Structure 1
Amino acid sequence: MIQILHNPRCSKSRSVLKFLNEKGLEVEEIRYLDQPLSANEIRNILKKLNIKPLDWVRKNEELFKTQFKGKQLNDDEWIDILANNPKLIERPVVINGNKAVIGRPLEKILDII
């Protein structure tokens, strides 16, 4: 089953979910803002994405700009920040087994479905 880290208020997230549904795929929505991911879940997804925690941070988010921009933090510190501030997680993320992509642009999803 395909999973999507989904924010229903985000137009990009909604368009990716619609795309997956139109492909006839069974999709599990993970509403990470309602039920934040644990640090271990974040580590697991980062491995599937094959990126560093800082590369998963929404850098245009006001919270990032006011509290974290320019700070020299290690990966574990960024993982804790993402676990405690899920709105900083770049979305949408589509997970298929051991692979995951950030669905921006939407066509990146084709690499894992």
Structure 2
Amino acid sequence: MKIYHNNCCSKSRQCLSLLSNAKVEVIDYIKNPLSFEELSLLISKIGIQPAELIRTNEAIWKENFRGKKMNDEEYISAMIKYPKIMERPIVETTERALVCRPP
């Protein structure tokens, strides 16, 4: 199991805390951005469109992309360039992945 984690995000830290007893590989995607292929596979495992993984309230998104018409590849490229705009945390197993929101 993997968790794509942003230590600056309280929900991400809460999720990591809940998984503290599980054997989890922690991936700091801010420091180590995903490749296009890795992010594409992750989105496929979640079962959503790339646009659905965007945090549209982030200042980076508003300043650079708000109102722009983009295709799936452009959304993925934006998340690679600015990983902070990606929803988090994401927990991935071999079969699937999901964006987690701890209570």
* TM-score, normalised with respect to structure 2: 0.95
Which whole-Å deviations, capped at 9, do the CAs of 1:10-50 have from their partners, x for residues lacking one?
111111011011xx310100000001111111101001100
Q: Once superposed, what is the RMSD of the aligned Cα atoms? A: 1.0
Which residue among 55, 67, 76 is the counterpart of 2:73? 76
Structure 2 runs not aligned, ≥5 long? none
Point out 4+ residue stretches in structure 1 off by more than 3 angstroms.
none
Q: How many pairs does the alignment contain?
A: 103
SS in 2 for 1:43: helix
Which residue among 90, 98, 103 is the counterpart of 1:93? 90
Equivalent pairs: percent with the same residue? 39
Whole-angstrom distance in 2 between the partners of 1:80 and 1:74: 10
Which residue among 24, 29, 32 is the counterpart of 1:27? 24
* TM-score, normalised with respect to structure 1: 0.87
- Asked if 1:8 corresponds to 2:7, the answer is yes
Whole-angstrom distance in 2 between the partners of 1:30 and 1:95: 11
What is the CA distance between 1:71 and its match in structure 2?
0.8
Structure 1 runs not aligned, ≥5 long? 108-113
Query: What one-letter code is carried by the residue in structure 1 that aligns with 2:45?
Result: K
